[in-house]
A = this chain, B = another copy of it.
């Protein structure tokens, strides 16, 4: 039920889920798609709800988060244009594991789980792609798990920023601007720490010229320096033994 079927097909063609799908399949998917619009702050779906529809973002950005019994919030990630929300829960037959909230105005396409399951029988390519999408996501979550159990806070924050830069980065003269509202609290909930620690860490980076940050916004001036912190480059030669001698003489990037 989309106004311009041709437009929708073109849009779908770019999705991981529809990759390599033939014309008939694309048309069927487009016909089954239900458009949806969200204002900033709106919730698309809530954790522990039965999963009946999944969505693909066509504009804007959503935040996926869990809330613990004690009220702590944990951010599992963000989804932007081209990304899918709820697909694992729908296809896997489980409740949504997270809540999804629009951090800015957003537009989406939704599909009934049952309808897509039906389509998958007729277009096996859809099922195969669905698996690939899920597997990629799975790998990502595992990486985060490993990070969280083995790495220090500073490095986790660095990694989170680099991931965000990849997903939502926009080139500016200053550097890579993360193109969405992002608070210290958000970063803390992404990395399993407190907003205070995030603030201190980023202030220190700002002093070294690595980032520039303001209220709800972050710009990465020296991505390479951040990468050095995130990966374990640079622990090679101990020229000076002073603890705060993190030399900024990194290879240029």
Contacts and interface: CB of A to CB of B under 8 A. Distances in A.
A132 B90 CA distance: 9
A192 B89 contact: no
A76 B144 CA distance: 12
- Majority secondary structure of chain A interface residues (helix, strand, loop or mixed): helix
B145 A94 contact: no
Number of copies: 2
Given A69-B232, A70-B232, A146-B68, A137 B135 contact: no
A81 interface: no
B139 A141 contact: no
A195 to B, nearest CB: 14
Interface residues of A, number: 43
A139 B120 CA distance: 23
A4 interface: no
B76 A145 contact: yes
Given A93-B135, A149-B74, A150-B70, A142 B141 contact: yes
A74 B150 contact: yes
A130 interface: yes
Contact of A131 (B69, B93, B139, B144): B93
Contacts of A137: 138
Interface string A60-96: 0000001011101010100000000000110111100
Given A70-B232, A74-B150, A121-B124, A91 B145 contact: no
Contacts of A121: 124
A136 interface: yes
A33 to B, nearest CB: 20
A98 B120 CA distance: 29
B148 A94 contact: no
3 closest A-B pairs by CB: A92-B135, A149-B192, A91-B131
Interface of A: 66, 68-70, 72, 74, 76, 88-89, 91-94, 97-98, 117, 120-121, 124, 127-128, 130-132, 134-139, 141-142, 144-146, 148-150, 189, 191-192, 231-232
